[in-house]
Structure 1
Amino acid sequence: PFFGYLPEIRRAVYTTNCVEALNFQLRKVTKTKGAFPSEDAALKVLYLAIQRASAKWSGPIKDWRSALNVFTIVFEGRLPAR
């Protein structure tokens, strides 16, 4: 189904690389720990890892304007009016 969309939409929603990078960061911080003293401690470590990783997500989506135009045409009525 993914390849049924137009190239502009595929570029905007293609996230495998981002997801893999985040999973790598989460594995990196949890792999070195043998065990966590509590569930809250594990959640805190994961939260801090996500905060650190999200600081790198500052770049805009490439060709977002053309993707948004295609989204508006293909999914008519689903996007709010600009």
Structure 2
Amino acid sequence: MKRSGRNGPRPPALGAPPSGSFELNTPRDRAGTFEPQLIKKHQTYLSDEIERKILSLFGLGMAYQDIASHVAELYGLSVSNATISAVTDKLIPELKQWQQRPLGSHHPFLWLEAIHYKVKTDGRYEEKAVYTVPGLN
């Protein structure tokens, strides 16, 4: 097998609207066998995987700064608040559609309550819970 020699870095611009773009230096070789893992060849925007991670972190209630630091820690990418906002804004049409969906005529409710007691067992006190679950049909 012939070894492919390096042919220097190639700086494509990676857009991250609306915050602008940045250059990414990826090595290239003469045979074209180098394949980047995080940002694929000819890709001009953040990958779907990173967008899904941003959306899942946002869904967990993380702040934009926390999401940016988490993405930087995991992937080594600096993502601005504007980029995170642009990614999360893609959810707005889906959320509006979900809010305007027709509701069914039947909505059962459950209330979950627990009373915690300290119970002495084998000479030790343990906390145990008594659960009540009333329902409304």
Alignment TM-score, normalising by the size of structure 1: 0.32
- Give the greater-gyration-radius structure (CA): 2
Question: Which structure is higher in helix share?
Answer: 1
Alignment TM-score, normalising by the size of structure 2: 0.22
